[in-house]
Amino acid sequence: MARELRLYPGDGSPSIVLNDAAAGYKTLKGSTGWGAAPVEHVTESTPLLDGEQVQATYETGRIIVLPMLVTGRTPEELGERLSVLVDSTDPAWPGQLQVTQPDGRRRRITAYYLDGLEGAEEAETAGKKWHKFVLRLYCPDPAFFDPTPHRFVFGYGTAAPFFPILPVTLSPDSVLGAVTITNPGDLPAWPVWTATAPGTAATFDNARTGEQLHVTGTLTDTLTIVTRPGAQQVLMGTADWWSHLDDTPTLWALPKGATPVTLTLTGAGPGSSITAEFLARYRKAW
């Protein structure tokens, strides 16, 4: 099995395999953008000292470059296949590009159409039954991610096993204990925490960094905490619950590797549970 490149349009229309020669789509040699993303360094200079000091470093958005050939058995079929590709890269709807390796590992990245589908019909780039171009996709978040979420469940009463953490049980009072959550990615991952009633308070603490996330108030529905920057939410069912955050909360990320975490759910009873779910993020597509 060769590597597969599949584009998921942002509008929900059917996906396209960009290197399926039988369907008329072929990715040529020369693609780029699969490894480490570009970085920028924030620097500061000091008078009378040589050079500069790096104050911060961050990865910028990446551009994925795909030299492509689209073919058809007839000019009409070629036109139809090009139209499908153009419609699937509507810049108003960011899509996702998925790379599936021969061993089955999948990585996705959110991608916006940048250029390449202008329809240039020069002698060296187009014929009656073929069209060659370079498709460029802009990825504002340079991280690839595993589309299969990692999910850890702590249930009430009987131990609910989950991998790779040992089974944990909610007692009639609370779950109060240290567990280790392993993030297999190259980059920090942003968990979604949920806690289900009954319960009167919940805490999610990073025992390594000391970062704390505490919520007070009687759970009448599912408590959901989304930690990802730009999408952060604290909800009780569908109601906003930001005001129930205690002290100085941090919606912290899981760094790569193993992180000791302390969880509590006060007033737990039958039906109570705590769940952590996240997508592992990677600096590269393999």
- Picking from 86, 114, 142, the residue at the C-terminal end of a domain is 142
Distance CA 26, CA 2 (A): 13
Distance CA 7, CA 16 (A): 5
Note the pLDDT of residue 156: 65
**184 φ/ψ sector (left φ>0, alpha ψ -120 to 50, else beta):** alpha
Note the pLDDT of residue 154: 78
- Picking from 94, 115, 142, the residue at the C-terminal end of a domain is 142
**Nearest 5°: phi and psi at 56?**
-160, 150
Note the pLDDT of residue 171: 47
Q: What is the SS3 assignment for 262?
A: strand
Residues of the chain with pLDDT under 70: 1, 156-177
Note the pLDDT of residue 1: 62
Q: Count the domains in the chain.
A: 2
Q: Are residues 138 and 161 in the same domain?
A: no
Helices (H) and strands (E) in the chain, counts: 1, 22
Q: Are residues 93 and 21 in the same domain?
A: yes
Q: Mark 71-105 as b/e (b = at least 16 C-beta within 10 Å).
A: bbeeeeebeebbebbeebbeeeebbbbbbbeeeee
2 near 102, Cβ under 8 Å?
yes
Residue 14: give the domain boundaries: 4-142
**Nearest 5°: phi and psi at 73?**
-75, -20
Q: Are residues 240 and 202 in the same domain?
A: yes
Q: Are residues 255 and 273 in the same domain?
A: yes
Note the pLDDT of residue 2: 84
Q: Are residues 11 and 138 in the same domain?
A: yes
Q: Are residues 198 and 111 in the same domain?
A: no
Helix extents (H) in the chain = 75-88
Note the pLDDT of residue 177: 61
Note the pLDDT of residue 169: 46
Note the pLDDT of residue 148: 97
List Cβ neighbours of 260 (8 Å cut-off, separation of 6 or more).
178, 179, 180, 206, 207, 208
Note the pLDDT of residue 157: 54
Note the pLDDT of residue 192: 98
The CATH number given to whatever domain includes residue 250 is: 2.60.120.860
